[in-house]
Chains A and B, each alone.
Chain A
Amino acid sequence: MKRSFMTSGAGLTPAERGGVRGGAKCPTGEVSKGTVELDRVTKRYGRTVAVDRVSFVIESGTLVTLLGPSGCGKTTTLRMLAGLELPSEGAIRIGGRDVTNVHATERNVSMVFQSYALFPHLSVLENVMYGLLTRGSPRREAEARAAEALALVGLQGCEKRLPGELSGGQQQRVAVVRALVLEPEVLLFDEPLSNLDAKLRRRMRDEIRELQQRLGLTAVYVTHDQEEALSVSDRIIVMDRSVVVQEGSPRELYEGPDSLFVASFMGDANLVDGVVRPADPGSGDFVLELGALVVPLPLRARAVRAGPVRVAIRPEAITLTRRTGAGTAHLEGRVSRSAYLGRHMEYSVSTPVGDLFVVSLETLDPLLEGETVSISLRPDPGVTIVPG
């Protein structure tokens, strides 16, 4: 299973890459190298609980994101994986081996730091060689491998420069290469893109994702940016206030948030009060009533009971149509704000069930402020019943 990343990845076909993407288990079936398991891991600093009984499993070869607002314990979790912090309770296993109390230097794990943490007094090449040398590679060989790795991310020619003389994006690449060149079982990223500007951030996140898939690396990626998380991850683990609140694929999380927090953290959501009632007596189906609007309940809805509920509605699941004639079966509203954002329109609509935030791709014939509209919903995906 050991592969040298400089040689193995480059020749993969798209089909082979696809195989990695699904997060497939190692074909041999054993507990594969790089599987990460956290078992009820808790970390306390004095009285504060930074991470509270967090458990999850990360399949080998996948990129999993820890997503959550600032201060929710993402970094702490990642540092415990790295071995820079020891858990107060719980167990950590990497590749089936219990590493809970193993020192960072003895784990086969690398980390890309938020600040990059490039050694400012060493050249780019020396930075990349650093880990190889501490692990006892002969200098010659370390140099060759480091140079090869730098070439992989298009940094040939920069070897002799100091990190301070590189652009932000280049520094970022050096940081990634420095971690990669040791061929770690698991690669950890702590908000690696937060110091870059928006354009570069998008490019770098694609580069990281591409590299990860090409080399079939297991990666844990920390971010507070939901868009970044959605775009790079195989799976996302959402954390809030020290605990894991939901985990799943990007689509599962966006379309089926099971809490108010996840719904509003993963993109925008309108929160509306409604009522669930049986569709036809005896059919077992339910419908959702939002004021005058009645929609069939989302297919994916969990066991629901009749009664008042709170629903989260994605702004793009709402369709607004200019009201033409008089009708009563529709929910009506008045456009209170209308903004043109180039690619789409954003509206605020006042309705009997509350103000709604709506996104529409129709920009050629926009609605005007003050217009009366009738509102319809695409329930699945886009509408979720949230507890509480």
Chain B
Amino acid sequence: MRFLAAMPVGLVACAIGFGIAPWYAIEDGFFSTLWVPDYPFDPELAPAILQALLYHRPWLGPLVLPLLLPLLVLGRPRGDRLRANVLVAAGCTGLFFALGQGWAIGPLGLTSPLLERFLGQIAGRQYGMGCGAFLVLGGFLALTTEGLAGRGVARSDRFVVGALGFVVALVMLFVIGPLGTVLSSAFETDSGDLSALILWQNLASLRLVRTAAHSLLLACLTGAGTVLFGLALALAVTRTRLRGARILRALSILPIITPPFVVGLALILAFGRAGALTLLLERFLGIPSSRYIFGLPGLVIAQLLAFTPIAFLILSGVVEGISPSLEEAAQTLRASRWRTFCTVTLPLMRPGLASAFLVGFIESLADFGNPLALAGSSFEVLSTEIYFAVAGAETNVPRAAAMALVLLAFTLSAFLLQRWWVGGKRQRYTTVAGKGFAGLPCPLPCALEIGVLAVAVPWAIFTFGIYALVVCGGFVESIGQDSTLTLSHFRDLFAASVRWSEGSLAVRWTGGAWASLRTTVELAAVAAPLTALFGLLVAYLIDRQRFAGRGAFELGTMLAFAVPGTVVGVAYVLAFNAPPFELTGTGAILVLSFVFRNMPVGVRAGLATLAQIDPSLDEASTMLGARTSTTVRRVILPLLRPAIVTSLVYGFVRAVTAVSAVIFLVSADHSLATTYILASVESGDYGRAIAYSSVLVVLMLAVILLVQRLVGRQDLARRVVA
């Protein structure tokens, strides 16, 4: 029993992965259970040990050595140097070898001519890694981290070293690695050689330069516009007598719950050639219909509608953060309202304004749905061009990769600039006690107040109108042309019949959207907890642990925020369509893309909450004899509950509304709601698209409200009971 307790978990995982679990990925999916009858005596299903002995894959055999090595030192205590060194050696060797053989030998034998020269021809071939291989990889990683902890890394904290190891490995595998693949694809010629010339040709081509310029122009306009509108809204809510702060705040969750192209779609329905408003204008004012909405103006309007709420959220925090006593001080120094605003309020907001601009800038560059709906052929932008270069009529992977690099360079620069500007240091603020009277905020100068309201109110009305169109549009035959009320769109999508047959209820889901909706919800439901778990773990490591390279670690994990979905999509397609990690076409790759794209949300929520949790709570727990894992479980997690809920909800909602990355990754088996809607748009079936969109919006809204309600109640209950 003692022997078992001392056995590192990693070793157990390795043993199962090597000797029991099927080594290769299973065609029909691991969870299909179709494979069970043939297991284990089948060249596709056998575990590594049988593969090596029976099925002519001798290269898997040597893995047994690093597996047996740790057994020699199992008897030694945890802090023992020799044990630590042996574990590190075995773990690293195992990892290296397992990965190496995977990359070296593919479905066509050896993968590179260079290897062939060394090893000669090899008869064997292999497929993508499966459950057994992943167990072995994870096991060797665990052995390595256990050994590193024994050597005193991160103050010998096994939990911390283990968590770090896994986070770093996953980020390497699913963020950095795929981006590296994009980079190398940009150099790759048709024949598979690498050539700098091809990247240069692509970069220097007039077409790419023009596309990039379009993207930049759009991003600058959108960034500036969102700041202007966001600031007006923030000032209107906090500094004027406008009643309706709650409504504006409610509106601000709209972009989160709205699939990104829906605004563009609504604009087409309102202002397009045959749009509802266009026709009204034409009939009553004689303004001829035109295609202006398809191009820069339409794009800017759509993105302003979509992203202003984000700027509003950032800036209202900034405005509220300005202590009124500062403004009062200025006024007691006889400064006029204008002077106070220009010399105190505005300068204090400057970092916030810059930050909001850069966020709008990044969002605009990364936006995929609106350009897809609105850009048309007159105004190409990078994100959609990348998609067309991968999935369009003329496939050109190096060109797509080159554009992805350019886009990535833009967003990363903006991201780094923003972090630098906001002063990379996260300041630890403990929640201020509600004591004392902080003073009243200074009223705005009259002219400014009028200006602010003149911007804010129409914006709110316009947004409201657009969303009203989205919700109502599904109920008419065809917006603009035929406004007969109808439920036919919803019937097409969500019809279901219930029949009583042979003593039981039989439900038949006849609507066309059920499959995609079910897949979407299932995948999002799997992704959400993983997103939350991963994001919060990262936040905890960043905020509460000290280790070498923490800055780089934080940057690496937050980087995912700045990687546009389109780039993620290309990267995943390029990185995971061949062994050893062959994931394209599976649900797993969708879940992974959700998790690693949305993880920064979890990290941020976690960091914000952790900043308010006094670190001496962790230390108190340590002093009371709790190991780090116990502290995390019993102290940190319960206190992180608000962050857990936030990241769960956002992880779910963003997965449901994601478009840009998934459009590269969906397969026939895994059609998603958003891609279904886009397909409807492409085939001109706007009614159906808008109906489905409104269902998604309402569904997501319901999820958010429900969760808020539940959490609020629980808090309340706790207080009442206690």
A interface residues (Cβ-Cβ under 8 A, vs B):
82, 84, 86, 103-105, 109-111, 113-115, 117-121, 123, 130-131, 134-135, 160-162, 165, 178-179, 182
Contacting A at CB under 8 A, from B549-582, are none
Do A123 and B624 touch (CB < 8 A)? no
Do B155 and A134 touch (CB < 8 A)? no
- Name the A residues within 8 Å of B515 (CB-CB): none
Do A82 and B623 touch (CB < 8 A)? yes
- Name the A residues within 8 Å of B634 (CB-CB): 130
21 A–B contacts from the bound complex (CB under 8 Å): A84-B623, A86-B155, A103-B156, A104-B619, A105-B627, A109-B623, A111-B619, A111-B620, A113-B616, A113-B620, A115-B614, A115-B616, A117-B617, A118-B620, A119-B635, A130-B634, A134-B621, A160-B722, A165-B722, A178-B620, A178-B624
Do A105 and B639 touch (CB < 8 A)? no
B694 to chain A, nearest CB (A): 40
Do A105 and B625 touch (CB < 8 A)? yes
Do B630 and A134 touch (CB < 8 A)? yes
Do B619 and A130 touch (CB < 8 A)? no
- Name the B residues within 8 Å of A123 (CB-CB): 722
- Name the A residues within 8 Å of B702 (CB-CB): none
Q: What separation, in Å, do the CA atoms of A58 and B646 have in the docked complex?
A: 49
Chain A residue at minimal CB-CB distance from B624? A131
Do A121 and B620 touch (CB < 8 A)? no
Is residue B622 contacting chain A, with contact meaning CB distance below 8 A? yes
- Name the B residues within 8 Å of A117 (CB-CB): 614, 616-617, 619-620
Q: What separation, in Å, do the CA atoms of A123 and B718 have in the docked complex?
A: 11
Is residue B626 contacting chain A, with contact meaning CB distance below 8 A? yes
Additional pairs, 6, CB under 8 Å, beyond known A109-B623, A179-B623: A111-B623, A113-B620, A119-B621, A131-B625, A131-B626, A134-B627
Is residue B638 contacting chain A, with contact meaning CB distance below 8 A? yes
B150 to chain A, nearest CB (A): 13
- Name the B residues within 8 Å of A120 (CB-CB): 639
Do B155 and A103 touch (CB < 8 A)? yes
Do A110 and B623 touch (CB < 8 A)? yes
Interface pairs A-B: 8 shortest CB-CB: A131-B624, A117-B620, A117-B616, A134-B626, A113-B616, A134-B625, A121-B638, A111-B623
- Name the A residues within 8 Å of B617 (CB-CB): 117, 119
- Name the B residues within 8 Å of A161 (CB-CB): 722
Q: What separation, in Å, do the CA atoms of A120 and B623 have in the docked complex?
A: 17
Q: A114 is contacted by which of B616, B622, B722 (Cβ under 8 Å)?
A: B616
Chain A residue at minimal CB-CB distance from B619? A84
Do A104 and B616 touch (CB < 8 A)? no
Q: What separation, in Å, do the CA atoms of A120 and B620 have in the docked complex?
A: 12
- Name the B residues within 8 Å of A130 (CB-CB): 621, 624, 626, 634
Q: What separation, in Å, do the CA atoms of A160 and B626 have in the docked complex?
A: 22
- Name the B residues within 8 Å of A178 (CB-CB): 620, 624
* A-B interface pairs (CB < 8 A), number: 64
**Considering only CB atoms and an 8 Å cut-off, how many residues of chain B contact the other chain?**
20
Contacting A at CB under 8 A, from B376-395, are none
| Known A-B contacts A86-B155, A121-B638, A162-B722; A113 and B619 likewise in contact (beta carbons under 8 Å) | yes
- Name the A residues within 8 Å of B614 (CB-CB): 115, 117
Q: What separation, in Å, do the CA atoms of A94 and B166 have in the docked complex?
A: 37
B523 to chain A, nearest CB (A): 33
Do B616 and A105 touch (CB < 8 A)? no
- Name the A residues within 8 Å of B639 (CB-CB): 120-121
Q: What separation, in Å, do the CA atoms of A133 and B634 have in the docked complex?
A: 11
A150 to chain B, nearest CB (A): 16
Q: What separation, in Å, do the CA atoms of A178 and B635 have in the docked complex?
A: 15
- Name the A residues within 8 Å of B638 (CB-CB): 121
Q: What separation, in Å, do the CA atoms of A105 and B78 have in the docked complex?
A: 15
Chain B residue at minimal CB-CB distance from A86? B155
Q: What separation, in Å, do the CA atoms of A82 and B625 have in the docked complex?
A: 11
Q: What separation, in Å, do the CA atoms of A117 and B619 have in the docked complex?
A: 8
Q: What separation, in Å, do the CA atoms of A131 and B623 have in the docked complex?
A: 8
Chain B residue at minimal CB-CB distance from A106? B625
Chain A residue at minimal CB-CB distance from B635? A119
Do A84 and B625 touch (CB < 8 A)? no
- Name the B residues within 8 Å of A162 (CB-CB): 722
Q: A134 is contacted by which of B156, B619, B624, B722 (Cβ under 8 Å)?
A: B624
- Name the B residues within 8 Å of A113 (CB-CB): 616, 619-620
A176 to chain B, nearest CB (A): 12
Chain A residue at minimal CB-CB distance from B719? A162
- Name the A residues within 8 Å of B621 (CB-CB): 119, 130, 134
Interface string of B33-49 (1 = CB under 8 A from A): 00000000000000000
Q: What separation, in Å, do the CA atoms of A134 and B622 have in the docked complex?
A: 10
Q: What separation, in Å, do the CA atoms of A103 and B622 have in the docked complex?
A: 9
- Name the A residues within 8 Å of B155 (CB-CB): 86, 103
Q: What separation, in Å, do the CA atoms of A86 and B157 have in the docked complex?
A: 13
Q: What separation, in Å, do the CA atoms of A183 and B404 have in the docked complex?
A: 62
Q: What separation, in Å, do the CA atoms of A111 and B625 have in the docked complex?
A: 11
| Known A-B contacts A86-B155, A121-B638; A105 and B619 likewise in contact (beta carbons under 8 Å) | no
- Name the B residues within 8 Å of A179 (CB-CB): 623
Q: What separation, in Å, do the CA atoms of A84 and B546 have in the docked complex?
A: 12
A66 to chain B, nearest CB (A): 17
- Name the A residues within 8 Å of B630 (CB-CB): 134
Q: What separation, in Å, do the CA atoms of A358 and B617 have in the docked complex?
A: 46
- Name the B residues within 8 Å of A182 (CB-CB): 624-625
A187 to chain B, nearest CB (A): 10
| Known A-B contacts A103-B155, A114-B616, A121-B639; A84 and B622 likewise in contact (beta carbons under 8 Å) | yes
A329 to chain B, nearest CB (A): 58
Q: What separation, in Å, do the CA atoms of A121 and B609 have in the docked complex?
A: 15
- Name the B residues within 8 Å of A82 (CB-CB): 619, 623
A188 to chain B, nearest CB (A): 8
| Known A-B contacts A113-B616, A134-B630; A104 and B623 likewise in contact (beta carbons under 8 Å) | yes
A182 to chain B, nearest CB (A): 7
Q: What separation, in Å, do the CA atoms of A134 and B626 have in the docked complex?
A: 6
B635 to chain A, nearest CB (A): 6
Chain A residue at minimal CB-CB distance from B630? A134
Chain A residue at minimal CB-CB distance from B617? A117
A184 to chain B, nearest CB (A): 9
Interface string of B605-643 (1 = CB under 8 A from A): 000000000101101111111110010001100110000
B155 to chain A, nearest CB (A): 7
Chain A residue at minimal CB-CB distance from B622? A104
Q: What separation, in Å, do the CA atoms of A213 and B619 have in the docked complex?
A: 26
Residue of A111, A121, A178 ringed by the most chain B CB atoms within 10 A: A121
A265 to chain B, nearest CB (A): 27
Q: A135 is contacted by which of B616, B620, B625 (Cβ under 8 Å)?
A: B625
- Name the A residues within 8 Å of B626 (CB-CB): 105, 130-131, 134
A165 to chain B, nearest CB (A): 7
Contacting A at CB under 8 A, from B347-374, are none
Contacting A at CB under 8 A, from B188-213, are none
- Name the A residues within 8 Å of B620 (CB-CB): 111, 113, 117-119, 178
Q: What separation, in Å, do the CA atoms of A115 and B619 have in the docked complex?
A: 12
B236 to chain A, nearest CB (A): 36
A67 to chain B, nearest CB (A): 21
Q: B622 is contacted by which of A105, A135, A160, A165 (Cβ under 8 Å)?
A: A105
Chain B residue at minimal CB-CB distance from A82? B623
Q: What separation, in Å, do the CA atoms of A84 and B638 have in the docked complex?
A: 23
A155 to chain B, nearest CB (A): 16
- Name the B residues within 8 Å of A111 (CB-CB): 619-620, 623
Chain B residue at minimal CB-CB distance from A121? B638
Chain B residue at minimal CB-CB distance from A104? B622
Q: What separation, in Å, do the CA atoms of A226 and B403 have in the docked complex?
A: 68
Contacting A at CB under 8 A, from B491-538, are none
B153 to chain A, nearest CB (A): 13
Chain B residue at minimal CB-CB distance from A120? B639
B255 to chain A, nearest CB (A): 33
Q: What separation, in Å, do the CA atoms of A118 and B635 have in the docked complex?
A: 10
Q: What separation, in Å, do the CA atoms of A111 and B623 have in the docked complex?
A: 7
Q: What separation, in Å, do the CA atoms of A110 and B619 have in the docked complex?
A: 11
A207 to chain B, nearest CB (A): 20
Q: What separation, in Å, do the CA atoms of A161 and B722 have in the docked complex?
A: 6
Contacting A at CB under 8 A, from B707-722, are 722
